[in-house]
Structure 1
Amino acid sequence: MKRWILLIVLFSGIVFAESMHATYKIEYGIFGKMGVSDAYLTKENGRYEIRMVAKATGLAKVLSGGRVEVYGSEGRIVDGRLVPDTFTKDIKRSGKRRIKVYRFDHDKRIVTFHEENYRDGKLKDEKNETLPYYADNDILSLYFNVAGIIGECSEPFAKDLKAVGAEKRTGRVRVETITGGARDALKRSLGESACYLKVTIYQKLFGSKGGELYLSLDRNFVVQRALLKDVIMFGDIRGKLVHLDRTK
């Protein structure tokens, strides 16, 4: 059950504004609504902060032990681009808690992290490591930066990028625009939209082929709907924007 939380994070990742609060719901086959995610972005005095809270609901809440995950990214705004200083993951379920804090050294091109594991409120173990790769984005900052990377969404684009929080050993994540006939086919599943993206994170999410996500975005690059196709036994997982507040 742990992988569906990552879907919520990816579904709700792309929103561009000075400050915003977006809420997404995730539905999965016969289970109906499996979870919700609230994403927050603030920009002030040349700095930014992203916070995302993902929670299981209904049967998924029972099966996941009441799993709640909180992701955060903080850093600088340089020429309109988000440059992370830290990326955090805080995961809680069934009396267990794991906290990871990643720190970026962009000059030395390294990322280190400190991890703490708790059981019933008591620290059980901790460790410090350096990632085997360098990335200048985490999974949250990358999604907020992707419009500047892609350029014109109607033009073909396909590129492997790197982000802390994506593929475990390399940080690899692939972003592709959907154009031509493929765009028309996806429109039937996700509805009319200004932009369609395919995001591959190279993880077997719910038994899908490599974790391929399809996103529909409006003209402001706000994700409206998302789709993970052909999940074993249950068909498709769908995400939908249900609430958005933003100010420029």
Structure 2
Amino acid sequence: MKIVVIGGTGLIGSKVVTRLGERGHEAVPASPNTGVNALTGAGLDEALAGASVVVDVSNSPSFEEAAVLEFFETSTRNLLAAEEAAGVGHHVALSIVGTRRRHDIGYFRAKAAQEKLIEDAPIPFSIVHATQFFEFARQIADGATDGGTVRMPPVLFQPVAGDEVAGTVADVAVGAPLNGPVEIAGPERVRMDEFFRDALAAWHDPREVVTDPHAQYFGAELDEHTLVPVDDGARLGALKYADWLAGTDAV
């Protein structure tokens, strides 16, 4: 089966392409690096010819509110139109846990707009809601740094390995359309400040993690459950952060 992976040369996309290829599918990585640009529409018709499934794991190059909304709305409209013309039977999108619960967070609002476009289109679809990736923990800590301290809210946090997100996306792509969402999260649910306190210790990072209920994430204060699944049916990864870290060169 031909499966086109939009954003297929990125962190998650490259892993999805590998997983699908290992299962014997024709997995085609599509990104500006390969001459396919969903934002402009360039190369879409050629890439989607003969495809049964399109997986969209692309991400906006800018997280500025207007830019990220423009990216997801425009690229998704272009993709859905090209898919309908090509007779694609399943659209799979990677999104994030909490998009529908926090419209005051610009990035979440943009992802919710993307999901609405997918739901309203005639193409059968599946949406994978993932929690934050282990791979971005350092960036989150850096973004929360104030001098020699890292300010983190005492809210629930359940990050997951990118490999396990890619595995779920690949599973969904080769299955029947869900016409709804599925959630994937890590195996450990902890407080965000406690997670980063342990993580910085493991990184041998001297910064102090300060618990701050008003610390912001994507420009907004968080509720207790913003970043974790609320559905008891969420899929859980098996890899804990400490074990993932021990297997990487990230320390």
TM-score by length of 2: 0.29
Q: Which has the higher helix share?
A: 2
TM-score by length of 1: 0.29
Q: Which has the higher strand share?
A: 1
